[in-house]
């Protein structure tokens, strides 16, 4: 169950990876359906549903992953600041 524990602690990364995976699958399915026909009127429903949904999920997944990275950096910076404050208190 280490994967489940990781998903609980890193929920934003897990959701980001899942969103990217589903978005890529949607884009692939949409492309496969669009490539079967040459009529634009038959391609538009797949473009509207799978294409736009896939692009949205890819963007959402990237945003969630970036948010997780920023949170890690903020946590690290808070730790560095706490250590510097403790060192400054000892120097006084």
Residues 6+ apart with CB under 8 A from 14: 6, 7
Local confidence band at 9 (pLDDT 50, 70, 90 cut-offs): confident
Residues 6+ apart with CB under 8 A from 19: 57, 58, 60, 61, 64
Local confidence band at 26 (pLDDT 50, 70, 90 cut-offs): very high
What are 11's two structure tokens?
């929920």
| Global confidence as pTM | 0.78
Count the neighbouring beta carbons within 10 Å of the beta carbon of residue 54. Answer: 21
Q: What are the residue boundaries of the structural domains of the chain, listed by start?
A: 2-91
> Which conformational region is residue 39 in: left (phi greater than 0), alpha (psi within -120 to 50 degrees), or beta?
beta
Q: What is the mean pLDDT of the chain?
A: 90
- pLDDT, tens only, 27-58: 999 988 888 888 888 888 888 888 899 999 99
């Amino acid at each position: 169950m280490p994967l489940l524990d990781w998903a609980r602690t890193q929920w934003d990364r897990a959701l980001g990876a899942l969103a990217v995976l589903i978005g890529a699958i949607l884009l692939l399915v949409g492309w496969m359906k669009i490539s079967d026909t040459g009529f634009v009127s038959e391609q538009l429903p797949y473009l509207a549903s799978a294409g736009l949904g896939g692009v949205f999920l890819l963007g959402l997944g990237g945003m969630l992953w970036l948010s997780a990275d920023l949170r890690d950096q903020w946590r690290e910076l808070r730790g560095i600041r706490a250590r510097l404050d403790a060192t400054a208190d000892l120097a006084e």
